[in-house]
Amino acid sequence: MMHKNYLRRVGGNKLLGLAATGALLLAGCGDNAEVMPQTLPDYYPLSVGSYRIYDVADTVWRDNVPTASRFQFREQVLGAPEPDAAGQPVYQVVRSRRNSAAEAWRVDSVLAVTVAPLNITEQFNNRRTVALVFPAVEGKSWSYNAFNNQDSVSAVTRFYQQIDQPFSISRNGKSYEYANTITTVNDLKTGDNNNATKLIVQRTTFALGVGPVYRVSRSFKNDCSGSQGCRFPFVRNVGQSRNQVLIESGK
């Protein structure tokens, strides 16, 4: 049963430290569209004891040969949030994995989700990234890696697409439908993501009152070892493709 708890909003007008400065810069990045008059709904709800289960389709490529696997992830909030250095709540989301519904869950990793007035960030393997920026406006852009050393705060690497739109997807013969979603995608027009040597795709759809319901990540490197340069059409010399579909959530 899909839970309907909304994440907690943090009041106050003052942001402290570097994280707050980055948040303010992120909020203004690439925003040339008209701001929605209503307050942004909660597309990433978090509460103690809540969980989401994803069906994961994963494919690893070596020398253009794919090896596919299927498994499940469970993301669960086990404890109350703790404040960070700027006073913003940080939720520890424990990710567990199992190969099938018949197996027991085994802890895989921990995801730290920080809820600030102007953005929501995720930290995984000591890398903090910006999942959402307030408000959600079609075409609004920001730096996905503003809080790590891969990009600058002013870099444009993520943007909103398909704001307040319905979304449906099928998995294992079952359909999942959501009336109100927003989607974030990486900027495929930049040479850092899409060129003759590599292809990187990142896409996440968030449903109102539910959270992330669909994640796609693809990263491929072309075969450029020959004397003629990179192969065409694109050869997946190495890479990985993974998509995650939410199949259950609750508390």
Q: What are the pLDDT digits (tens) for 6-20?
A: 333 333 333 333 344
Residue 5 lies in a domain: no
Model confidence band, residue 182 (pLDDT cutoffs 50, 70, 90): very high
Residue 1 lies in a domain: no
- Whether the predicted pLDDT of 251 surpasses 80: yes
Domain count, the chain: 1
Residue 7 lies in a domain: no
Report the sign of the C-alpha dihedral through residues 141, 148, 45, 95, in that order: positive
In a 13 Å sphere around the CA of 236, the CA atoms on its Cβ side amount to: 16
Report for 1-5, 151-155, 212-216: range of highest mean pLDDT: 212-216
* DSSP H or E run through 20: helix 17-28
* pTM attached to this predicted model: 0.83
Residue 244 lies in a domain: yes
Residue 10 lies in a domain: no
Domain with 215, as residue range(s), is: 17-250
* CATH number of the domain enclosing 157: 2.40.360
| Lowest model confidence (mean pLDDT) among 40-49, 170-179, 185-194, 239-248 | 185-194
Residue 141 lies in a domain: yes
In a 13 Å sphere around the CA of 199, the CA atoms on its Cβ side amount to: 15
Residue 2 lies in a domain: no
Helix and strand numbers, DSSP H then E, in the chain: 1, 13
The phi and psi torsions of 44 (rounded to 5 degrees) equal -140, 65
Mean pLDDT of the chain: 85
Residue 164 lies in a domain: yes
| Lowest model confidence (mean pLDDT) among 43-57, 101-115, 185-199 | 185-199
Q: What pLDDT was estimated at residue 11?
A: 35
Q: What's at 214, amino acid-wise?
A: Y
* DSSP H or E run through 202: strand 198-207
- Whether the predicted pLDDT of 1 surpasses 80: no
pLDDT digits (tens, 9 = 90+) for 211-235: 999 999 999 999 998 888 898 888 8
Q: Higher-confidence residue: 39 or 209?
A: 209
Mean pLDDT of 126-148: 93
